[in-house]
Amino acid sequence: MAEYNRVSECVGVITLRNPPVNALSAAVRQGIVDAVQRALSDPNVKSVVICGQNGIFCGGADIKEFGSNMTGHPLIPMIHAIESANKPVVAAIEGSALGGGLELALGCHYRIAHSKARLGLPEVSLGLLPAAGGSQRLPRLIGVPAALNLITTGRHVTAAEALQLGIVDQVTDHNTVDAAVKFALSVAGRSLDPRRISTHPCPQQPDLDALFEEVMQKVRQSARGAIAPIACVQAVRAAATLPYAQGMERERELMATLFTSGQARALQYCFFAERAVGRWRMPSGARWDTSKSRPVHKAAVIGLGTMGRGITVALAQTGLSVIAVETQEKQLMEAKQAISGMLERGAKRRGVAPALDGVIYSQNIQAVADVDLVIEAVFEDIALKTKVFQQLSAVCKPGTLLCTNTSALDVDQLASETPNPELVVGMHFFAPAHVMKLLEVVYGPRSSPQAVATAMQLGKKMGKASVAVGNCRGFVGNRMLKPYIEEAFFLLEEGATPELVDQALEEFGFPMGVFRMSDLSGLDVGWRVRKGDGLVEPGTASGRFARIRQGRRYSPLGDLLCEEGRFGQKTGRGWYQYDKPGSRVARSDPWLHSFLGAYRAQHGLVARRIDHQEVLERCLYALINEGFHILDDGIAAGPEDIDVIYVSGYGWPRHRGGPMFYANMVGLAKVLERLEHYQQLHPEVPHLQPSSLLRRLVASGSPPIHKWGEAIKKLHSQL
């Protein structure tokens, strides 16, 4: 899987052939080894070029091989053989040179990149480090600070930045392989000693210890429990302080620890899960590969509150022309100013011109008559949304797709109010909509596959992790969040504090625990929903029965805080206290603690000691249990869909793979046993009742997560 040719009489060209990204599989590695040997032993060949087919140099080691017993020629000696070759080897980098691909290029004596190429060492995002010598060569080539930055973040750099950093020797706008061949001819016969990076010392760096300490601190803070970024710093430290051979030994040891860690498995699972969700399917049998999306040239957003503004920015940044509609003049002017600011800031960050002219503002819904797709983002009220949908159906040209941005309302009910329900889908964005990666594309039983395909395609264009999900209360993300939050409330009743619950969840890896999060998003949001559900009862009734509502355990704690005007950060008080309304630093609040004490006394609850383990099991297993219900109901097509939703939109630590992956890692039997345990203790809490799918999976021998789909199909066919 590496082709060898001789061109211009004396240049051996080795082309990696392993579509789609020329990953370094065992066959490719063997191909390179054979071709290099051939080139070096051919007296007519004076220099060598390595390139990749189809405009991509190499996407790195073959990640699929990591899950199996890796066999074949190892990467490190292959790269060493190239570096120690006595003929110049030039890497011709088009498309991407990532991970092992860039490490291969660093083993070459020269690197020529196309101006559109991207280079990087993203191993850290897969729970690994650049362990084919990358952690040792890159600091020698570009210095410790720049190498630390690239290796610990895994960010990709443009060819221009790579040239500036000294990673590549030349950038071309023309045919890269031709440029590399020409270059290879020009350097034939020159001494190669200065070009062998592993023989260089690391560039001197003043205050090396202070630098590493500072970076390590920063990395520990942002890693939130992930071990790979820390190992990356340790590996670069070895490059800076040890001779190359010893540095390589340290790289190997660190990699061995990472490679077998659960975190690497989780992160690699996330990589494939993110790609798997693009291959969506609906219970009707409609699928991504048999459903054609419609072209969208012009879109509209109705309602320019926080969500509508973010959605307008996200659409305009893709280059679409957008009609932004807000009926009140004052709100329209405010929105215009805010959207222009967001577009300008975004463009500055990305180094492009702001798409200000791409947005046309209007007070009149008639302005959307000729758009291809509308995203309605008015207030979360079914009567209002229904009215807007009816107006849109009358105004829009035939075939316009009508999307609703809702986090909870019934998409099918809305669709049924329009003459063409097949054109209606939900697009559940997350605030701020131009920043947050997640998009739930919600289909009802009548949504056409074409409508789903179009919304999914648009999501991809906006750079979102788009996941197609069925229609139910809360869809996937918020439906699973409900039992998680309820368990956290129950834990407070039983003796925990917001600080204890949040600490357990933050140590697990969430950026914020449930109570800090609730203070940030506003306690009034859930209060309004609970009121709508008829759950909120004013008054001070006490005892157990005051906490049983609609036949199940209910905690009115959140309602009581709202009655006190404690809505979270925006009022300066919530589960924590803040210096002033709008301030972000949460401080423990003695008032809250005595309030909890009084509440427990009023309801005859005796506080007991609750540890982190119980917090995690009660909150997370309740959430996971709901995930199994969702799979059983066919609302999510597979565990990957749920996991991508949680990792991209709900702060689930990526190095733990997502809730369903985590359940698989913990062991389904263990999750079932703990749910049964808590259900016995709390029989009035239905969400602790283990899902029948979880029971059936355990009964069928707890298949690994990649086999759940098959198992679910089989279990359903047996029903």
**Cα(128)–Cα(260) distance, rounded to whole angstroms?**
10
Please identify, using beta-carbon distances, which residue of 75 and 424 lies nearer to ligand TC6.
75
Residue type, 127: G
Task: Give strand pairing partners of 1.
Answer: none
Task: Give strand pairing partners of 402.
Answer: 374, 424
Q: Which stretch binds ligand TC6 (CB under 6 A): 130-138, 440-448, 521-529, 599-607?
A: 130-138
Q: Smallest distance, Å, CB 581 to ligand TC6?
A: 43
Q: Smallest distance, Å, CB 19 to ligand TC6?
A: 8
**Cα(1)–Cα(207) distance, rounded to whole angstroms?**
46
Secondary structure percentages of the chain, helix, strand, coil, to 5: 55, 15, 35
Contact pick of 52, 122, 513, 638 for ligand TC6 (by CB under 6 A): 122
| Footprint of ligand TC6 on 3-32 (CB under 6 A) | 20-21, 23
Q: Please choose, from the candidates 469, 495, 373, the residue with its C-alpha nearest in 3D space to the C-alpha of residue 424.
A: 373
Contact pick of 12, 31, 52, 59 for ligand TC6 (by CB under 6 A): 59
Q: Any contact of residue 251 with ligand TC6 (CB under 6 A)? A: no
Cis status, amide bond into 432, omega within 30 of 0: yes
Q: Which stretch binds ligand TC6 (CB under 6 A): 55-63, 467-475, 574-582, 595-603?
A: 55-63
Please identify, using beta-carbon distances, which residue of 122 and 346 lies nearer to ligand TC6.
122
Contact pick of 83, 94, 123, 502 for ligand TC6 (by CB under 6 A): 123
Residue type, 409: L
Q: Any contact of residue 100 with ligand TC6 (CB under 6 A)? A: yes
Q: Any contact of residue 215 with ligand TC6 (CB under 6 A)? A: no
Q: Which residue is nearest to ligand TC6 (CB)?
A: 99
Tell me, yes or no, if 123 is annotated catalytic: yes
Burial string for 277-309 (b: 16+ CB within 10 Å, else e) reads bbebbbeeebebeebebbebebbbbbbbeebbb
Q: What is the number of helices (H) and of strands (E) in the chain?
A: 28, 19
**Cα(357)–Cα(378) distance, rounded to whole angstroms?**
23
Tell me, yes or no, if 103 is annotated catalytic: yes
| Footprint of ligand TC6 on 139-168 (CB under 6 A) | none
**Cα(223)–Cα(655) distance, rounded to whole angstroms?**
9
**Cα(619)–Cα(145) distance, rounded to whole angstroms?**
41
Q: Any contact of residue 98 with ligand TC6 (CB under 6 A)? A: yes
Q: What is the DSSP letter of 204?
A: P
Point out the catalytic residue in the list 83, 94, 103, 486: 103
| Footprint of ligand TC6 on 448-467 (CB under 6 A) | none
Cis status, amide bond into 20, omega within 30 of 0: yes
Q: Any contact of residue 126 with ligand TC6 (CB under 6 A)? A: yes
| Footprint of ligand TC6 on 256-295 (CB under 6 A) | 272, 275
Q: Any contact of residue 649 with ligand TC6 (CB under 6 A)? A: no
Q: Any contact of residue 409 with ligand TC6 (CB under 6 A)? A: no
| Footprint of ligand TC6 on 582-621 (CB under 6 A) | none
Point out the catalytic residue in the list 83, 94, 123, 251: 123
Residue type, 301: V
Q: Which stretch binds ligand TC6 (CB under 6 A): 1-9, 53-61, 513-521, 703-711?
A: 53-61
Q: Please choose, from the candidates 174, 173, 168, 177, the residue with its C-alpha nearest in 3D space to the C-alpha of residue 49.
A: 177
Q: Smallest distance, Å, CB 62 to ligand TC6?
A: 5
Contact pick of 51, 97, 131, 409 for ligand TC6 (by CB under 6 A): 131
Q: Please choose, from the candidates 256, 275, 231, the residue with its C-alpha nearest in 3D space to the C-alpha of residue 70.
A: 256
Three-state DSSP at 587 gives strand
Q: Any contact of residue 487 with ligand TC6 (CB under 6 A)? A: no
Please identify, using beta-carbon distances, which residue of 68 and 550 lies nearer to ligand TC6.
68
Contact pick of 11, 13, 33, 61 for ligand TC6 (by CB under 6 A): 61
**Cα(556)–Cα(548) distance, rounded to whole angstroms?**
10
**Cα(114)–Cα(701) distance, rounded to whole angstroms?**
51
Name the residues annotated as catalytic.
103, 123
Binding site for ligand TC6 (CB under 6 A): 20-21, 23, 59-64, 75, 96, 98-100, 122-123, 126, 128, 130-132, 272, 275
